[in-house]
């Protein structure tokens, strides 16, 4: 019924209310075809207000309908969807109005599929993609242009492997997974043993096992396990350019923002939220439900869930120079404090005598 272009049939507001779980307020027969921001909306669009920063735009928007929280419903006469979670409702509405284009099933003439691979019905294999012997591609999955699927890889039904993704031998990807362009799954982890001043590479014999409904961002890399598997559990969402080391376990429902680095053998719990450019040392664990702020540096395990942050806030350059000078003086200052405390204790002890 719906189309992903502005000229499509769209949905009525009543249909969107029913499908998004919001309450209808206004003309349910109004039809909308696409989403838009409050500032740039026009006829036939639906916009949303989730951030109070943009509340003033509610009075001037040219959208045909809006999605708002109950407290904002009285601030506009427009037809609306009312919900305590307007951003979630927007996500559902946007998914309905802008569904992804489905690839055409079949194997492109330039693709190379080994006769020993198993390709289910409805699979799309794009130009110059390769699928090695023993690979099993589930029903309705798609393999993008130039992607490389290694030996004995398992890819579940309806999963989408975008252009130039590399999935190394033996790795397993669940159902309804999205792997964006350039991601590398299952390359060798950084395993080295020192041998008289030189490095000996340690064979990495584990796999990467990815659960269902996972999203893996563009150019993200997930190393295979050294012995046991690296595991990405169901419903994990990974942003672009994340590095996950060998033998890591990322718990169900965790979301990790871009440029985060996670060293090997780290266990991250369920439903964690990790901000961009965080750095997490290896061989530690992070409790379920933990939130890490952007650029946080984690050197020890976190046993108690909470919100943790570890980066200095931005300062004007001259202020930062003064701060950095004081930081360099901390050792000397600490030594002076210790000396003063000793002197005070000695004086007090003399006084008591």
Q: Give the residue numbers marked as catalytic.
A: 246
d(CA 309, CA 288): 16
Going by their DSSP bridges, the two strands 291-292 and 307-308 should be labelled as parallel
Identify whether the C-beta of residue 170 lies closer than 8 Å to the C-beta of residue 153: yes
Contact 174, 154 (CB under 8 A): no
Tokens of 236: 């994990």
Which DSSP state fits 74?
Answer: G
Q: For residue 132, give the nearest of 120, 116, 156 by alpha carbon.
A: 116
Please answer whether residues 242 and 220 qualify as being in contact, where contact means their C-beta atoms are separated by less than 8 angstroms. yes
Beta strands per DSSP E along 138-268: 142-143, 148-149, 154-155, 160-161, 166-167, 172-173, 178-179, 184-187, 192-195, 198-201, 208-210, 215-216, 221-223, 230-232, 237-238, 243-244, 249-250, 255-256, 261-262, 267-268
Rounded Cα distance between 352 and 350, Å, is: 5
CA atoms of 308 and 286, how far apart (whole Å): 11
What is the Cα–Cα distance from 121 to 130, expressed in whole angstroms? 18
């Amino acid at each position: 019924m719906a189309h992903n272009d502005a000229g499509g049939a769209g949905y009525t507001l009543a249909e969107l209310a029913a499908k998004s779980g919001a309450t209808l307020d206004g003309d349910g027969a109004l039809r909308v075809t696409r989403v838009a921001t409050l500032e740039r909306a026009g006829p036939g669009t639906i916009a949303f207000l989730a951030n109070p920063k943009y509340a003033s735009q509610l009075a001037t928007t040219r959208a045909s309908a809006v999605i708002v929280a109950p407290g904002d419903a009285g601030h506009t006469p427009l037809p609306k969807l009312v919900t305590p979670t307007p951003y979630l409702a927007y996500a559902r509405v946007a998914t309905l109005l802008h569904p992804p284009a489905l690839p055409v099933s079949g194997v492109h003439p330039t693709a190379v599929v080994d006769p020993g691979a198993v390709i289910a019905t409805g699979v799309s294999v794009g130009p110059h993609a390769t699928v090695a012997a023993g690979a099993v591609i589930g029903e309705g999955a798609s393999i993008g242009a130039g992607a490389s699927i290694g030996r004995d890889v398992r890819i579940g039904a309806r999963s989408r492997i975008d252009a130039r993704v590399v999935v190394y031998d033996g790795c397993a990807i669940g159902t309804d997974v999205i792997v964006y362009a350039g991601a590398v799954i299952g390359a060798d982890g950084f395993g080295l043993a020192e041998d008289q001043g030189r490095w000996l590479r340690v064979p990495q014999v584990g796999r990467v096992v990815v659960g269902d409904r996972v999203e893996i961002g563009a150019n993200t890399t997930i190393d295979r396990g050294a012995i046991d598997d690296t595991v990405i559990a169901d419903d994990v969402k990974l942003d672009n350019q994340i590095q996950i080391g060998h033998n890591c376990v990322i718990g169900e429902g965790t979301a990790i923002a871009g440029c985060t680095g996670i060293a090997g053998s780290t266990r991250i719990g369920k439903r964690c939220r990790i901000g961009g450019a965080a750095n997490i040392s290896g061989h530690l664990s992070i409790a379920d439900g933990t939130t890490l702020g952007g650029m946080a540096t984690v050197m020890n395990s976190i046993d108690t869930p909470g919100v943790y942050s570890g980066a200095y806030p931005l300062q004007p350059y001259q202020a930062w120079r003064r701060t950095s000078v004081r930081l360099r003086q901390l050792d000397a200052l600490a030594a002076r404090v210790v000396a003063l405390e000793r002197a005070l204790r000695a004086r007090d002890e003399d006084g008591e005598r």
